[in-house]
Amino acid sequence: MTGLLELIITLLLLIGASIALLGSWGLARLPDFFMRLHGPTKASTLGVGATLLGSLIYFSSQQPGISVQEALITLFLFVTAPVSAHMLAKVALHRKLPLNPKTRNSFTKDE
């Protein structure tokens, strides 16, 4: 494996881990459900996606052809994470979960 390929894989893994760390920090620190939902959703899509992309490049360089397992996991992640976050937000709206006073409520008319 070439040095440039190893550098790209390392950067993708570090970027993915950093974004996942930021998403976990957002989950712990943000004040209400809707804000907490945003952090881990972005982290799972971008952070885990970058990690899986690094894994896909690594395993594809070790064997001939593209590593199908990592490609399918990445595709599944990019399809399901936004849909599940959307469904969680719809349920929270339906149940009328309370908002933090600092959260802008776009469902009521601002005067």
- pLDDT tens digits for 36-71? 888 888 887 889 889 988 998 998 888 888 878 888
pLDDT at residue 111 tops 60: no
Q: Is residue 110 part of a domain?
A: no
Q: Residue 29: what pLDDT?
A: 86
Q: Residue 14: what pLDDT?
A: 96
More reliable by pLDDT, 105 or 19: 19
What range does the domain containing 53 cover? 3-94
Number of domains making up the chain? 1
* Other CB atoms within 10 A of residue 9 CB: 18
What is the sign, positive or negative, of the torsion defined by CA atoms of 86, 87, 90, 95? negative
Question: Using an 8 Å Cβ cutoff, are 35 and 23 in contact?
Answer: no
More reliable by pLDDT, 38 or 14: 14
More reliable by pLDDT, 109 or 91: 91
Burial 57-91 (b: 16+ CB within 10 A, else e): bbebeeeeeebeebeebbeeeeeebeeebeeebee
Q: Is residue 107 part of a domain?
A: no
Q: Is residue 44 part of a domain?
A: yes
| Closest-CA residue to 98 (of 36, 32, 39) | 32
- Name the residue with tokens 């950093």: 18
Q: Is residue 101 part of a domain?
A: no
Structure tokens at 28: 């712990």
The pTM is what? 0.75
Q: Is residue 109 part of a domain?
A: no
Q: Is residue 79 part of a domain?
A: yes
